[in-house]
A and B are shown apart, each in its own frame.
Chain A
Amino acid sequence: DVKVTQSSRYLVKRTGEKVFLECVQDMDHENMFWYRQDPGLGLRLIYFSYDVKMKEKGDIPEGYSVSREKKERFSLILESASTNQTSMYLCASSLWGLAGGPRETQYFGPGTRLLVL
């Protein structure tokens, strides 16, 4: 079974702090993704990576950065946390492909609920 783990389930930080959210997958997937989930807005893609040291901006990259130094690990960084970054953060991974079929479906971690005070 594919396993995607996230370093924390719950996190409380103060405004202005630098925050690191870590994600690790054990299936040798090329693609990794970071989303935030907010009520009524669904999942919005922040950044994704389709190879080590590669990254692409998603739909809402402002205020975030990412790091992919190893294939299995994808980190999301909030350089200076703000209250509007309070959210549920979900990491996902998938095989690389262009067909978009179920073999390339995304596998999700359990999420990190971040509260910025």
Chain B
Amino acid sequence: GEDVEQSLFLSVREGDSSVINCTYTDSSSTYLYWYKQEPGAGLQLLTYIFSNMDMKQDQRLTVLLNKKDKHLSLRIADTQTGDSAIYFCAEVLFTGGGNKLTFGTGTQLKVEL
């Protein structure tokens, strides 16, 4: 399909792991990103993975990439209430003027006590 797809909502208990999934469109994307949007704020880059990697770990965050299925996931270990936010995956697409990002629909993560 044409869209970068994510499930809309995820609810977890504090201390559990969260897994946010994304299906992207362009198998030639060189980088895939995860952005976080806290309430009332713009997006901030959370982490990224280069396309020749299968996995990247960064403290509590683990990114898994399955290029064959064009599937990307973000795992947050020991989820905290401060992790409540909307998470967007994004893929890089190249244009004549440089590169641009195509974003997924966003997954709203709610962390419950």
Are A43 and B103 in contact, with the CB atoms below 8 A? Answer: yes
Q: Are B98 and A98 in contact (CB under 8 A)?
A: yes
Q: Contacts A99-B30, A100-B92, A101-B31 known; A30 to B45 CB distance under 8 Å?
A: no
Cβ-defined contact, B42 with A42, below 8 A: no
**A interface secondary structure, majority:** loop
What's the least CB distance linking A3 to chain B, in Å?
11
Q: How far is the CB of A109 from chain B (nearest CB, A)?
A: 5
- Find out whether the CB atom of A105 lies under 8 angstroms from the CB atom of B45: yes
Task: Flag if A102 contacts B45 (CB, 8 Å).
Answer: yes
Interfacial residues, chain B to chain A (CB-CB below 8 A)? 4, 6, 8, 29-31, 33, 40-45, 48, 50, 88, 92, 94-95, 97-106
- Chain A positions within 8 Å of B, measured between CB atoms, are 4, 30-31, 33, 35, 40-45, 48, 50-51, 54, 56, 58, 90, 92, 96-102, 104-106, 108-111
